[in-house]
Chain A
Amino acid sequence: MKLVCLSWSHRDRVCAAREALASVPVERVLLELKTRGFSEAAAVSTCNRFELYVAGPSDQDLAATKLVSMLEELAEAELGRQAEIREDAAAVDHLFAVAAGLDSLVVGETEILGQVKTGYEKAMAAGMTGKRLNVLFQRALFVGKKVRTETALASGSLSVPSVAVQLAETIFGRLDGKCALILGAGAMSELAAKHLAAKGVSKLVVANRTWDRAYQLAARYQGEAVKWETFPAELERADVVICSTGAPSAVLTSDIVSAAVRRRGGRSLFLIDIAMPRDIEESVHKIDGVYLYRIEDLEAIVAKNMASRAEAVAAARRIVDAKSAEFVAWARSLSTGRELSLKHSEYRA
């Protein structure tokens, strides 16, 4: 089996090639390859990656330069200089690493697996898959899933706002239908608001001493601005509270939170204090059903996740290497007439 992979990814500093390729529909690329006599090809096109995989029997001429020229014609741009060319075992290893999220800008991100699947489905729809590519992509999807279930590659957020959102999910489950109260309208508050809004928080309430800034931040995320004096009353409906006010002393005291908890009907309250000096009294954390995290707590979790992510990358790499070697052995066995079983690595009768 012969396999060629051409890729343009986030590693290129110049994104002109990726921009040009993004404008060419994958279906058009596959159609062009079909008319030129290729029978097995698939392309994965995302916002920061374009990959073309072309497979054929061992004796087929799959010159990478010809494929690059064809893409240059379609994209009407010069692509050759940024192209990364891999063949056979290296191409297999690369696809498995891509599906596992090891080649992503944010290592371990899960979106890429769906994008690889979409690329494979488009190739199937175009009638451009045969035994080699079918097995290759199915194995890639299997490896992607295996890495995510058997290693901690996809778990553990690596930024303070995403850790805060992840913790909110461990308390509330899904965040849609929940209400977030933002006290203070600084840059960190906005970042947290952005993450919460992206996770489907249904109501965002902003309170700030300067009304204009509260109004502007609320407007950006389709939220509601309220007068600063009313925030203790707002605690009753809020599920997540983010404090970043810059006040000289605590604005959320134990008394205010205790009074709010009594009116909340037993709902949990997640408080995040990212202000320095502190906005929330430490004693609040002792109240039943109230969970207070400070900026240093969130940073400590990020540091821990980073350390475990490094271990997970090594574990994921081991899986990719093993499965890649298995696939290459299977591909070689195709020409010997004694086809290996990928599942058990045994010869099939």
Chain B
Amino acid sequence: MIKSLLSWSAFSLYSAASIAALYYLLTKNERSSRLMLTLIGCGLVLQFMAFGIHLAAFWAYPENRWFLPINNFFGALSYMSFALAGAFFTIEVRRHLGILGAFVLPMAALGLGLAVVLANPELAPLEPKLRSYWLNIHPMILMTAYATFTNAFGVALALLIQERQIKSRTPSELCYRLPSLDELDALNSRIIAITLPILVLGLVMGAVWSYQASGRAWSGNAKEVMSLVTVGFYAEFLWLRYVSGRRGRIPVYVSMAGFACILLTFFGAGVFSDSHDYLGGK
């Protein structure tokens, strides 16, 4: 009950922060930017408390002791929205690019919203095949990478809007409010350059887990293939950006294709692979 209340409150705070961020984008009213940061901070605290309660309930089953509760849709989405809001909070404190909140925070709110509305928060003992220390490593690394890529997607969206504004030769007021093209491009490239190795590490950890559990590192299921395609898109982005020196819309579209693959692998997990059926809440 308290966990649900805290999660709903955190969702409300992220939603309110998204509205404040949109208001800041439209008016550049500094007060709404400060309000946005306060709301995210409070949301993060509430979500952390909700996680603590969720963890205590999860560990009430002796089989689950010391494992993290991100084996189901609720846990995975809650953690991702937490990591997404946390990553944005860090970027905002360090770079003061609050204007990007309008592009990133709605996704954090949406993630947590899906978790509290659609996902089944009921807890059950872990399946024997999941009772491995790899559960604390493989999904955690991947969810963190997904959350950071979501931040990059928000930046890429702002970059695309800014690029179109300048190319149109009739820039609106929004063009002067958004960060410069170079700043957005550098941020997008840096986030992806840092996160891609994390994603690869998470996938390698998954392969090692699979090898230890079943003697096979590669099952060839659709989720594994899609994960490789995701890596391919982001690697292509980095190649375009840093090796061939391409700028403009093409590299941004490639990074967005990578993000589309992430959405597909995450939400289509149950369809693509039996061993990743967290959508069913197993």
Which stretch of A18-26, A128-136, A147-155, A320-328 is in the interface? A147-155
A265 pairs with B171, CB closer than 8 A: no
Size category of the binding interface on chain B = 20 to 34
CA distance A262 to B247 in the complex (A): 11
Cβ proximity bits A90-134 to B, threshold 8 Å, 1 near / 0 not: 000000000000000000000000000000000000000000000
Asked whether any CB of chain A lies closer than 8 Å to the CB of B162, the reply is yes
Asked whether any CB of chain B lies closer than 8 Å to the CB of A34, the reply is no
B181 pairs with A266, CB closer than 8 A: no
Asked whether any CB of chain A lies closer than 8 Å to the CB of B282, the reply is no
Q: Which residues of A contact B249 (CB under 8 A)?
A: 288
Asked whether any CB of chain B lies closer than 8 Å to the CB of A158, the reply is no
Asked whether any CB of chain B lies closer than 8 Å to the CB of A289, the reply is yes
A291 pairs with B29, CB closer than 8 A: no
22 contacts between A and B (CB under 8 A): A149-B28, A149-B29, A149-B30, A155-B176, A169-B180, A170-B162, A170-B171, A170-B180, A170-B181, A171-B166, A171-B180, A172-B181, A172-B182, A173-B180, A266-B242, A266-B244, A266-B245, A266-B247, A288-B249, A289-B246, A297-B170, A301-B171
Which residues of chain B from 2 to 37 have any CB-CB distance to chain A below 8 Å in the complex? 27-30
- A291/B167 contact (C-beta < 8 A), A150-B27, A171-B182, A173-B179 known: yes
Closest A-chain residue to B166, C-beta based? A291
Min distance, Cβ B159 to any Cβ of chain A, angstroms? 12
CA distance A48 to B163 in the complex (A): 40
CA distance A264 to B183 in the complex (A): 17
CA distance A289 to B244 in the complex (A): 13
Which residues of chain B from 81 to 122 have any CB-CB distance to chain A below 8 Å in the complex? none
Asked whether any CB of chain A lies closer than 8 Å to the CB of B57, the reply is no
A289 pairs with B166, CB closer than 8 A: no
Closest B-chain residue to A151, C-beta based? B27
A288 pairs with B183, CB closer than 8 A: no
Cβ contact of B173, chosen from A152, A167, A288, A293, cutoff 8 A: A152
Provide the main secondary structure of the chain B interface: helix
Min distance, Cβ A334 to any Cβ of chain B, angstroms? 28
Cβ contact of B247, chosen from A150, A170, A288, cutoff 8 A: A288
Asked whether any CB of chain B lies closer than 8 Å to the CB of A166, the reply is yes
A166 pairs with B182, CB closer than 8 A: no
A266 pairs with B169, CB closer than 8 A: no
Cβ contact of B181, chosen from A166, A171, A265, A297, cutoff 8 A: A171
Asked whether any CB of chain A lies closer than 8 Å to the CB of B248, the reply is yes
Asked whether any CB of chain B lies closer than 8 Å to the CB of A39, the reply is no
Which residues of chain A from 275 to 300 have any CB-CB distance to chain B below 8 Å in the complex? 285, 288-289, 291, 293, 297, 300
Asked whether any CB of chain B lies closer than 8 Å to the CB of A341, the reply is no
Cβ contact of A293, chosen from B29, B169, B176, cutoff 8 A: B169
Closest A-chain residue to B172, C-beta based? A304
Asked whether any CB of chain B lies closer than 8 Å to the CB of A216, the reply is no
CA distance A117 to B181 in the complex (A): 34
B181 pairs with A267, CB closer than 8 A: no
Min distance, Cβ B31 to any Cβ of chain A, angstroms? 8
A285 pairs with B167, CB closer than 8 A: yes
Q: Which residues of A contact B242 (CB under 8 A)?
A: 266
Asked whether any CB of chain A lies closer than 8 Å to the CB of B276, the reply is no
Cβ proximity bits A195-226 to B, threshold 8 Å, 1 near / 0 not: 00000000000000000000000000000000
A150 pairs with B29, CB closer than 8 A: yes
B241 pairs with A297, CB closer than 8 A: no
B248 pairs with A289, CB closer than 8 A: yes
Closest A-chain residue to B162, C-beta based? A170
Min distance, Cβ B41 to any Cβ of chain A, angstroms? 22
Asked whether any CB of chain A lies closer than 8 Å to the CB of B49, the reply is no
A265 pairs with B245, CB closer than 8 A: yes
Q: Which residues of A contact B176 (CB under 8 A)?
A: 155-156, 166, 170
Asked whether any CB of chain A lies closer than 8 Å to the CB of B250, the reply is yes
Q: Which residues of B contact A308 (CB under 8 A)?
A: 173
Asked whether any CB of chain B lies closer than 8 Å to the CB of A268, the reply is yes
